[in-house]
Structure 1
């Protein structure tokens, strides 16, 4: 493994004050080789540390440092010296394999990196995790680890992941449980593979790892129109969604009786596909699987309700809004728009569901809507003054859609303001209020 090169460091940080400079190599901390950012974060957290640095001329410095435990070393090392651990699987449901051609290169990168699980919340299959890396997770007490389980049947998991080494998930869960490492799990449910009895068996198996396996989500497989040459898969329909909800409720009843928690949760899509009402807030506990679309609508509705509670109807003039969303959330967002209009009579809010022509009509979630589809489906000749889009429609930290259209380009194409709004009910209410009455 190549030494870690220091690309940036704070001029007021501990290392800079001791003469460390950009371009130096970080060899070790307390005698342990530095592999990546996790080593820096955890080894550098001690109050007394010995840092080994190699200067460009080959000179080795050993720096004895005393500091507060929460005081950073003041450096940023180039993660590119290690790179992302790429996925070695060939999953039958992989959405990256279903991406249309011509998109930016980074969208085709498949990672399966336990470091990103800790740092960014990504889910990992553990199939490329060596014993040394497993031990490092335990040594550093890195948690929670988010794990893509999918099924506990060894043969079926190898088939679904396209990897003959993927069958040891139960052993992996047992290892981390025995070492008290907290985990969250995910199942991408594919009809004909890990549904029905296979799902029942998986839930029965993983419940045994509670409380170290803290929660489990079940989400339906997403299928684009670009599946040529890929295994035949079928979308979750209303009947399959209802059947799956019954299986999950049965498992929840067992966990409630034994531990007082539901533990396993279906994503919101299952309720919508089955035509069933979304549960209330108490159902989701601490909303630990929110990022997987579990309880997102219930949380949104509760935030909107609280934001509007106690406000008397008022307006300063009128304003026409358009909420851009995916097809799946149309009815839900129309109900939210109606609630806002009751408090702000001057608000005229239309909901604009966008059919996903970019990935295919079976993709109905808002997070995969592209700028090009929005422009193609919303006529410029209308009286809408402000459009709202959820922040999951653009790449994190940017104003770029998946097709690289920018927020500014979309605003120009629509001839109106386009505003990014956090996926929270209170944020939507506030965005309306700011434009209608100044907050």
Structure 2
């Protein structure tokens, strides 16, 4: 659970032309209370700031307390950003799921990699998944009172014994009663099921999907959607975990099973309701479905439709931004996980039709994680150095990688220090170090517009070129 000690909310940014800027707030100030109440998180802050008359207790960067009175329009935002959304600390997970990625990492890396959150507030604010096993009665009451909906819930199985086995927590067996609570409260969740072969697949998966579909009835379905995701395993996972990776044959079976269930849901509800993560199709070596299949992309955060959405975004960016020629001519290497090699090849072909532009796709597996099929976001600095350091030389190029390396920012996270020059891969290696050791400029890009601008804009001159913190997930798994 969180520390429950509510700390002053440290301000990191003041938005231009905002009420906060007009009053004189500065980064480094801290918000202590609003109308006499200490906000425990960003949810409280937004709720309390919805009033027209505010009395703020503020601690400035020198430790001096100020009281600020504000009159504003109702629901008008103050224009403050904070270093964290949780002022009273993170609610951490009390389960021991053997497939948890946090426990499948090597020891000794930066501390933030090992935080196992199971916090309903992050679920509401940012769409992260929680299990509901950590919630105290007062937290359930708060969810109902503030109408915190939808939440995102890791269900995995609805049979009590199967779910308790997966989560290693006896309380995990209460999931059907908890779903009934959401139904009674007229609140919603989006569910995910991580399929572990031999444990919750086959008939167990069918039972889980049927149970979840029962809560899709009514004017406000308690379960708005469900995603089926293949388990992801690394070589660092705990010994004796009973888990095995999904094989191509198993992926084909799950695809067929879920697609049959989707057809039934289309007849019953007029929607697919349950969705397959893109990775199933990659493992099975099948094409991802067409755009119309994904409706309004209700499970995009689970990698459901992210490839198809990215391909569409690329088409739009190419139509608007891609020139017929570039000068001077340049050769670029685009690094992705080998899971998307086939899906991305048409985009590479389109880029290479630009006169003077050569883009080579480096589709890599992850030696670091021990994965034969690797999603882009899991590639590490170790993987790049291993795969790209000893490429054969090309007499026509100043460097085997060409003029620069295009790097999806989904691979990167800011360091704990916040220094943009220390932006890190999951193995704690910095982009600056990888760039220097490869002897090639690196261009992190965070969406399809940035990809095309990096391909066609001014070439970098330094081994490490103007890295900014990753702005978001630009590419699918």
Partner of 2:51: 46
Q: What do the CA deviations read for 1:158-209 (whole angstroms, capped 9, x no partner)?
A: 1100101111112222222332323211111110111111111111111122
Partner of 1:418: 442
Q: Unpaired segments of 5 or more residues in structure 1?
A: none
Partner of 2:232: 222
CA positional deviation for 1:107: 0.7
Q: What do the CA deviations read for 1:257-283 (whole angstroms, capped 9, x no partner)?
A: 122211211111111111222111111
Contact 1:148–1:185 at 8 Å: present in 2 too?
A: yes
Q: Secondary structure at the match of 1:303?
A: helix
- 1:293-332 aligned at under 5 Å gives the runs 293-309=303-319, 313-332=324-343
Partner of 1:234: 244
Contact 1:319–1:348 at 8 Å: present in 2 too?
A: yes
> Is 1:35 the equivalent of 2:53?
no
Partner of 1:246: 256
Partner of 1:433: 456
- 1:100-115 aligned at under 5 Å gives the runs 100-115=106-121
**Against the structure 1 CA distance between its residues 204 and 404, is the aligned structure 2 distance closer, same or farther, given a 3 Å change threshold?**
same
CA positional deviation for 1:240: 0.8
Give distance in 1, aligned partners of 2:244 and 2:225.
26
2:204 pairs with 198, 204, 216, which one? 198
Partner of 1:386: 404
Give distance in 2, aligned partners of 1:431 and 1:76.
30
Partner of 2:271: 261
1:158 pairs with 158, 164, 184, which one? 164
2:426 pairs with 402, 420, 423, which one? 402
CA positional deviation for 1:304: 2.0
Instruction: Report how many aligned residue pairs link the two structures.
Output: 426
Q: What do the CA deviations read for 1:56-113 (whole angstroms, capped 9, x no partner)?
A: xxxx999986432223467677867621111000112111111112211211111101
Contact 1:98–1:223 at 8 Å: present in 2 too?
A: yes
Give distance in 1, aligned partners of 2:413 and 2:59.
38
Q: Secondary structure at the match of 1:350?
A: strand
- 1:309-388 aligned at under 5 Å gives the runs 309=319, 313-342=324-353, 344-362=354-372, 364-379=374-389, 382=400, 384-388=402-406
> Is 1:213 the equivalent of 2:223?
yes
Give distance in 1, aligned partners of 2:24 and 2:347.
55
Give distance in 1, aligned partners of 2:247 and 2:35.
54
Q: What do the CA deviations read for 1:301-352 (whole angstroms, capped 9, x no partner)?
A: 122223334877434342111111112122223332112212x132222111
**Against the structure 1 CA distance between its residues 113 and 230, is the aligned structure 2 distance closer, same or farther, given a 3 Å change threshold?**
farther
Give distance in 2, aligned partners of 1:14 and 1:301.
40
**Against the structure 1 CA distance between its residues 314 and 110, is the aligned structure 2 distance closer, same or farther, given a 3 Å change threshold?**
same
Give distance in 2, aligned partners of 1:324 and 1:35.
41
Give distance in 1, aligned partners of 2:21 and 2:337.
49
Give distance in 1, aligned partners of 2:88 and 2:401.
52
CA positional deviation for 1:395: 0.9
CA positional deviation for 1:360: 1.1
Contact 1:13–1:72 at 8 Å: present in 2 too?
A: no
> Is 1:121 the equivalent of 2:148?
no
Give distance in 1, aligned partners of 2:132 and 2:261.
25
Give distance in 1, aligned partners of 2:71 and 2:179.
38
Q: How high is the TM-score relative to the length of structure 2? A: 0.80
Give distance in 1, aligned partners of 2:180 and 2:103.
31
Give distance in 2, aligned partners of 1:374 and 1:166.
40
Contact 1:5–1:78 at 8 Å: present in 2 too?
A: no
Contact 2:6–2:88 at 8 Å: present in 1 too?
A: no
